[in-house]
Amino acid sequence: MALATFGAGCFWGVEYFFKRVEGVSRATCGYMGGNDQATSYQEVKTGTTGHAEVVQVEFDPERVSYDSLLQVFWQNHNPTSLNMQGGDIGTQYRSTIFFHDKEQKAQAEASKLALARSGKWGQRHLVTEIVPLQQFHEAEEYHQDYLDKNNLPSCHLSY
């Protein structure tokens, strides 16, 4: 199994999309990218910790490629929207890819460049960060599978 970590706004919607990908065995909501070693949703939602809401995806690379996961990431949020997705505003909702190794970094950079050249977003600049993996803080249990537990539709807009 392999890991990938993405931030694309509210982690409930990000988790929702990745859990439905064949070859993904687990998608876990959490926090990454901030300065605090111990953190909670109450702290992260203030926007002062530096953490982003992320989803760590465990996947079988024999069944789904990292490039396929990148496509799911790009298709389910607006990578031109700085520090916000829809009505969620703050650095904790930024578009970010935390790469786990040099290969993921290269693939993420190539996919971002391909998307920028595709013209899908016109002249708008892609603000997605591609940064090294940092300590993952698993979100509280009530955030895991939140949309499914509460019989709610995805809170993300598909683009």
Determine which of 10-24, 113-127, 135-149 has the lowest per-residue pLDDT on average.
135-149
Give the C-alpha distances (Å, rounded to integers) separating 54 from 63, 105, 116, 124, 135. 23, 17, 23, 24, 11
User: Is 158 inside a domain boundary?
Assistant: no
Q: What are the tokens at 3?
A: 């890991």
Q: Which amino acid is residue 98, in one-letter code? A: F
Task: Please identify which of the residues 8, 10, 70, 97 carries the catalytic annotation.
Answer: 10
Residue 158 pLDDT greater than 90, yes or no: no
Tokens linked to 87? 């009505």
Closest among 133, 93, 97 to 113, alpha carbons compared: 97
Is 127 a member of any domain? Answer: yes
Q: What is the pLDDT of residues 7-59, one digit of tens each?
A: 999 999 999 999 999 999 999 999 999 987 768 999 999 889 999 999 999 99
Q: Do 64 and 21 contact (CB within 8 A), yes or no?
A: yes
The three-state secondary structure class of 92 is helix
For CA atoms 114, 115, 119, 120, the dihedral sign is positive
Burial of 31 (0-12, 13-18, 19+ CB in 10 A): buried
Predicted TM-score (pTM) of this structure: 0.93
**Residue 84: which CATH number?**
3.30.1060.10
Domain extent, residue 69, equals 2-149
- Please confirm, yes or no, whether 29 is among the known catalytic residues: no
- Phi and psi (nearest 5°) for 111? -70, -35
Instruction: Domain count for the chain, please give it.
Output: 1
CA distance 145 to 139: 11
The answer to the question of residue 84 being in a domain is yes
What pLDDT score does 150 carry?
81
